[in-house]
Structure formats: structure tokens, C-alpha cells
Structure 1
């Protein structure tokens, strides 16, 4: 088993918390993909590989593909992808392992709790007490699984998921045309649905998202959302991230021209 995570300079402290959590009794190797164009930080992982940014920013899709390739070459039979700002619950890897044995052809998704600022992410008792998974997605009882319906595939998040090496190879990985923020995980989910790959919600495979400042809508990612959303629409016939696009539109920053979303020339908005 290998846990694959992506890292760049702004997330080093979060990744160190994650790697420390994984080292505390979790039987998995740790594969980190460094996405910056600078030297990788000193991280406690068995493998650190580099994938420089592309023309439009961090290459999240390509980085996950690269991490998976290295982990499989190293002999991993189960891949667990955990975002840089997430730490594992005490039973996350065990629940993923059990679910993969029962559903080896599936992509497995555990619940994610968003932690408040100031939480000690290294204290498993604190994490357990704060467990409150995001309500947008199914949260089966501990030790149980639910097979996702076709309508639930858009609820896939790349924050925390797992699949066997064989199933990863079957999926073909993420579409690496996406650069910068947004849409690559929904694209992956739509590919799973198209190809008949089951999506399974795994009870008890808890991950915890460490707090960091965010904005809603994410103004710093507006151009990424427009670019990646356009690619997604060309591939799947509809735009993702419509909630954010509508929020940008209400602020006058973007508009629908009858065919696609575009920036509104000279529009004033505040981040």
C-alpha cells in the first residue's frame, strides 16, 4: 500500500502533519510529488519525486498520475490518495484495505471532516471528538460501504480516495490537460461513470482537512476555473463549478456569452 500526496511550498506544514500521522502505526509507504519549481522540502517520505508546474500553474492531475506510476513500480497493490492538507484518521487505511478486498474493481471514498482553526491535527482523540463529515456526501456507518448511484459520481472528491493498482491502470488516471485549480477530479469521476467503474462510499475511512484560509468564491482561481471549466465542457457537454461561476457572474466578473463563460472586460471585483 502506498499513500500518494501532492505538495508545494505553501502546504509543507500540512504535509508534515500528514506524514507524521501516517508514520504512527500505518502500514503504508509514503510517496510525495513535489509540484514546485523549487527544491523539495525535507519531508519524511520513502519517495519524493518532482513534477514542475506547467504554463498555467500546478499540474494536479499529472502529479497524481506520476505519483501512482512510481508507487505501482515500487510494488504497491493499493493506492491511497490524500490531499496535502488532510491527515488520516486512526482507521482510514484499515477501512480502505478492507473495502478494497471486498470491492477490488471500485474507487473507494471515505468521509472528510473539515477541522476548525487551531486544531491539533496530531491528536487522534481530538480528531475523533471533532468527527463531523461534510454533509454533501454519504457517510455510511463505520465498517459499512455503500455503492454510489450514477447521480452521485459528481460528489467524488480527490481529497481522499483509494483504489487497487489494477483498477488505477484500468481507469487510465486523470486527464493531464488540466492545470491550476479545478475540474480535474470531476472529470475523473465522469470517466469512471462512463467506463462503469464502481464508486463506493467507505464508512469509517475518515480523513480530516486541516484549516487554512479560503475565499468563496475563490477569486484567486478565477482564470483557472474558466480555463479548466471550458476543457471540461468540451469533454462532457456541460460546465462544472457552476455555483462559483454564478457567484462570479453576480459580482460582474464573468458572463455567459451564449456558448461559454468569459471574463467581463474591465469588470471591477474584490477578492
Structure 2
């Protein structure tokens, strides 16, 4: 099975190089490693002359925002043109475990969306993590299923899908139709993707033995730096699917006084200005 690993990058250069090193040490080398550079011209030179060879695509920002959905579609299109049998998407912060590609390839079939476990690593005391010791640094994230090696949990809740690490066949990708490119900036596009998969009869499987390790970086909880993106993309999702996504974050923003909910119109607002999908 010919595999392609697709990653999106804008900054996080050290994390990207750790991902590339992890793939180089993988039990199965990917036939294609596609990196979609979102307004970051340094990535091409950064990853050159290293293994696996990176095929870098450049995309500009969309109205100043990261085109995450469009970038995944562009990466998939490049990989499919190369004739691969399995698309594996990895967040730029994720280092693949040595058996991640084997784990996905061993259970891949048409009509299924595969998700492996992701462990969130603590800060590294050195400049980079030691690849051989990643498994002992943190357990898989407790908010997602984590079957043991060699086991698969079928019939997964699509609301738990995340784009940090997932895989699917070209047939399944075409069946879903890729990501909705109307989403720009942070949040919502992966929830939309999972909802679209359900409509097209695609099942979600949680795969044991396909681990990834998310490298530490400072963040906000809730992600207040993305509140405008979340409101805009949440309104788009509401228009398409009839319900608000990311409600935990919206309620947390509300508790901080950043947004408010208007029950009469089922609308989340910022500074008393209602958001709509056309905003």
C-alpha cells in the first residue's frame, strides 16, 4: 500500500523538522511527504536535503487567515496525483510513532475514516524530543478512545473526530468530497468534514497501534486568540448543519465576557454584534 503523509505548516519549524525526523525513522517510509506551506516561504529550504523528501506546496493566506481546509485539499490532490493508496494527515505538531503508517495501512479500507491515538507531550527539557522515548512521556489524550495495539473500535462518534492524525483511502476521500473551503482560519472545518462523512455513510474507526505524539507549545484555554475565527466558522457550520459546533469553547468565551448567546435567534455574538455566515 503506497502511503502519503500530508501536513500543513505556517511557522513551527522545529516541530515540522521533528515530524520529518520521525517519518525518517518510521518502520514504513511514506511514498510521498506533502507539506502545504501557508504563507511561509522558508519551509521549502528548511526541509530540503532531508528525508523523507518533502514535496512542498505554497498557498497564500485567505483574507489574512490560514486556509486550513483549502490546504488539506491541495495536499490531498498532490498526493492523489502521485497514485497513492492511503492518505495520512498529520498536524504539524505531531511526531508519528514508528508504527503509525503500518497501523493505518493494516486496517485501511474504503468507506472508513481512521483515527489513531494522540498523546500530548510535556515541554522538552532540551531543544528537541528524543524520538525513542516519546511513548513514555505521556498517555493518549483521555478525551478520545485509545484502543490497545492491534485493536480497532468501530462506530466512533463523529463529534470526536479530530484532524491531528487521521487516514483514509482515495475512494473514501472522493466520497466525502474533501474539506469545505468556505471555512478559513481556526476551527470548524474538521467538524464539518466528519459531519459530511456521516452523510455519505463513512464510518469512524479508532485504531490502536497508530500513535502520534503532539509536541508541546504554549496555548490558551479556551483559545481566545481564535475567538473571531470560531464565531465566524461556527456560524457557517450552523448554517450548513443546523447546530453550533465547539460549544464548550463558546460557553467558555461567554464566561469570560467575550461573547454572548442570544436564545431568541440561536446566535452567538461578540460585543453585541451578531455573526452570520456572510461575516
- Same-fold status (TM-score > 0.5): yes
Residue number in structure 2 paired with 1:199:
204
Q: In the TM superposition, what whole-angstrom CA distance separates every residue of 1:30-75 from its partner, at most 9, and x where no partner exists?
A: 1100011645442143310011110150010110000000001012
Number of the residue aligned with 1:8:
10
Tell me the equivalent position of 1:58: 66
Considering only aligned residues, what root-mean-square deviation do their CA atoms show, in Å? 1.7
> 1:265, CA displacement in angstroms?
4.8
Question: In structure 2, what is the Cα distance between the partners aligned to 1:256 and 1:159?
Answer: 29
Structure 2: any 5+ residue segments left out of the alignment? 274-279
- Identify the match of residue 37 of structure 2 among 16, 27, 34: 34
Matches within 5 A, 1:50-129: 50-100=58-108, 103-118=109-124, 122-129=129-136
Higher mean C-alpha displacement, 29-38 vs 201-210: 29-38
Which shifted more, 169-178 or 115-124?
115-124
User: How far apart, in 1, do the equivalents of 2:155 and 2:60 lie?
Assistant: 35
Looking at structure 1, the residues matched to 95 and 186 of structure 2 have their Cα atoms a distance apart, in angstroms, of 21
Does the 8 Å CA contact 2:13/2:43 hold for their aligned counterparts? no
Task: Give the TM-score taking structure 1 as reference length.
Answer: 0.92
CA contact (8 A) 1:107 1:162 kept: yes
The two structures have a TM-score, normalised by structure 2, of 0.89
Aligned counterparts of 2:178 and 2:212: Cα–Cα separation in 1: 22
Q: Which residue of 2 aligns with 1:135?
A: 142
User: Partner of 1:178: helix, strand, or coil?
Assistant: coil
2-structure distance, mates of 1:177, 1:66: 14
* Number of corresponding residues: 261
Q: Is the Cα contact below 8 Å between 2:175 and 2:200 reproduced in 1?
A: no
Partner of 1:210: 215
- CA distance in 2 between counterparts of 1:132 and 1:46 reads 30
- In the alignment, which residue of structure 1 is the partner of 2:178? 173
Greater strand fraction, Structure 1 or Structure 2: 2
- State the 1:171 CA deviation: 1.1
In structure 2, how many angstroms separate the alpha carbons of the residues matched to 1:46 and 1:181? 25
